[in-house]
């Protein structure tokens, strides 16, 4: 089964010592990162057609269901799902969908209830895309779900494969610094996303060559990308788009956190239809930047850090811990 961890390899590693072990550990991590099913195996027939349409929707979302979508107008902006779920949801550490199907229905702390995969898809239609939910029985919803189900084939129910979540970060002892982030942004990001953060359209203006990262056509503050830890984990593995890979990140952990703090700073306007309220404040993510909280840390610290203190405190007091 080429998709799973290699137990023999791990055994060899454990039996190695000292430097050799260190040299191998990077290779070992690469070997066990899950790369997903073979997408050339999408079946023929009606089911295959639905899966292919689902993939097409992830890549060309604005064309199909954007503000001027040919198959319905649901999104409030012209971004595509693949702008964040990279390579149509198949890139390790690029918010891929490999472990998604195996983990729904899932308890979601914001709603403080169990959501179906369709409801979770609509969360992204509503928040990062500032849109209105797809009808649960629409062809588009069925197609996206069918594609995500295809990508999840081979992943055992309830499992999360390595690379399905953001890349690991070490948190510094200081808060993320938006001023330092601004300098990084201007040097490393503005060439594509522009200094005003609003990105660059394709010539036909159906969608973007470089998607916006703030401004009226970007993601809402209720989106996961607005959380600094979450955004930094994405940025570290993937941005700048032409320089970073998960195997060779370009920014340091501190730089990724600083630039995430800058793009998500309140000086940058974002659309907001009010989807910010948690039903229960005790289930907020560590980096959820809107209080109240059930711990003694300020809203500012929850937004910018230092995060490690909050993590330790929540661990020691048996409080809900996620980030």
Q: Which residues of this protein are in contact with ligand HEC, per CB under 6 A? A: 61, 79, 81-86, 95, 99-100, 103, 120-121, 124-125, 128-129, 144, 165-166, 188-189, 191-193, 210-213, 219, 223-225, 230-231, 235, 239-242, 251, 259, 263
Residue whose CB is less far from ligand HEC, 171 or 234? 234
Tokens at 312, concatenated: 């330790």
Tokens of 95: 């918010």
- Burial class, 251, CB count within 10 angstroms (exposed 0-12 / middle 13-18 / buried 19+): buried
Quick check: 76 and 129 in contact, CB under 8 A? yes
Secondary structure (DSSP) of 5-60: --HHHHHHHHH--HHHHHHHHHHHHHHHS-----GGG--SHHHHHHHHHHHHHHHS
Upstream peptide bond of 292 is cis (omega within 30 degrees of 0): yes
Q: Which two tokens stand for residue 264?
A: 């998500």
Question: Which residue, 45 or 203, is less far from ligand HEC as judged by CB?
Answer: 203
- Minimum distance from residue 52 beta carbon to ligand HEC (Å): 15
**Min. distance of Cβ 79 from ligand HEC in angstroms?**
5
- Closer residue to ligand HEC, CB minimum distance, 67 or 240: 240
Closer to ligand HEC by Cβ: residue 82 or 301: 82
CA distance 222 to 233: 17
Q: Whose Cβ is closer to ligand HEC: residue 42's or residue 263's?
A: 263
Nearer residue to ligand HEC within complex by CB, 24 or 39:
39
Q: How far is the CB of 235 from ligand HEC (least distance, A)?
A: 5
Residue 144 C-beta: closest distance to ligand HEC, Å: 5
Q: Residue for token digits 């969360």?
A: 123
User: Measured from the CB atom, is 9 or 201 closer to ligand HEC?
Assistant: 201
CB closer to ligand HEC, 93 vs 293: 93
Tokens 């993939």, residue located: 55
**Nearest distance, CB of residue 243 and ligand HEC, angstroms:** 7
For residue 20, count other CB atoms closer than 10 A to its CB. Answer: 10
Q: How far apart are CA 13 and CA 4, in angstroms?
A: 16
- Shortest CB 8 distance to ligand HEC, Å: 29
CB of 124 to ligand HEC, least distance (A): 3
Integer Rg of the chain from CA: 20
Q: Which is nearer to ligand HEC, 44 or 267 (CB)?
A: 267
Residue 224 CB, nearest approach to ligand HEC (Å): 3
Residue 220, CA atoms < 13 Å, CB-side half-sphere: 20
Contact assessment for residue 107 and residue 116, using Cβ atoms and an 8 Å cutoff: no
Which are the contacts of 61, defined by CB distance < 8 A and separation ≥ 6?
75, 79, 80, 81, 82, 129, 207
Q: How far is the CB of 207 from ligand HEC (least distance, A)?
A: 9
Spatial distance between the Cα atoms of 131 and 117, rounded to a whole number of angstroms = 17
């Amino acid at each position: 089964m080429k998709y799973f961890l290699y137990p023999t390899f791990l055994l060899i590693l454990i039996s190695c010592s000292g430097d050799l072990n260190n040299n191998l550990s990077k290779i070992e991590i690469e070997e066990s990162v899950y790369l997903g099913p073979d997408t050339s195996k999408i079946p023929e027939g009606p089911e295959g057609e639905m899966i292919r349409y689902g993939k097409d929707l992830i890549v060309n979302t604005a064309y199909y269901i954007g503000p001027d979508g040919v198959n319905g107008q649901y999104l409030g902006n012209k971004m595509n799902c693949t702008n964040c779920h990279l390579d149509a949801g198949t890139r390790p550490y690029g918010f891929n969908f490999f472990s998604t199907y195996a983990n729904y229905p899932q308890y979601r702390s914001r709603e403080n209830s169990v959501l179906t995969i369709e409801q979770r898809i609509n969360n992204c239609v509503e928040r990062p895309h500032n849109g209105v939910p797809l009808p649960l029985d629409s062809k588009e919803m069925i197609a996206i779900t069918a594609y995500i189900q295809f990508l999840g084939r081979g992943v055992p129910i309830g499992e999360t494969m390595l690379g399905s979540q953001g890349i690991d970060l070490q948190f510094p002892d200081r808060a993320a610094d938006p001023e330092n982030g601004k300098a990084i942004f201007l040097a490393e990001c503005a060439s594509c996303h522009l200094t005003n953060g609003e990105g660059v359209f394709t010539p036909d203006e159906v969608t973007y060559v470089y998607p916006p990262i703030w401004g009226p056509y970007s993601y809402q503050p209720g989106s996961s990308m607005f959380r600094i830890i979450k955004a930094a984990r994405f940025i570290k593995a993937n941005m700048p788009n032409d320089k970073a890979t998960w195997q060779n990140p370009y920014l340091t952990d501190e730089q990724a956190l600083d630039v995430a703090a800058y793009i998500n700073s309140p000086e940058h306007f974002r659309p907001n239809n009010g989807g910010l309220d948690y039903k229960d404040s005790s289930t907020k993510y560590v980096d959820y930047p809107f209080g109240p909280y059930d711990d003694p840390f300020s809203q500012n610290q929850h937004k910018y850090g230092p995060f490690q203190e909050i993590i330790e405190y929540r661990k020691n007091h048996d409080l809900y811990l996620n980030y």
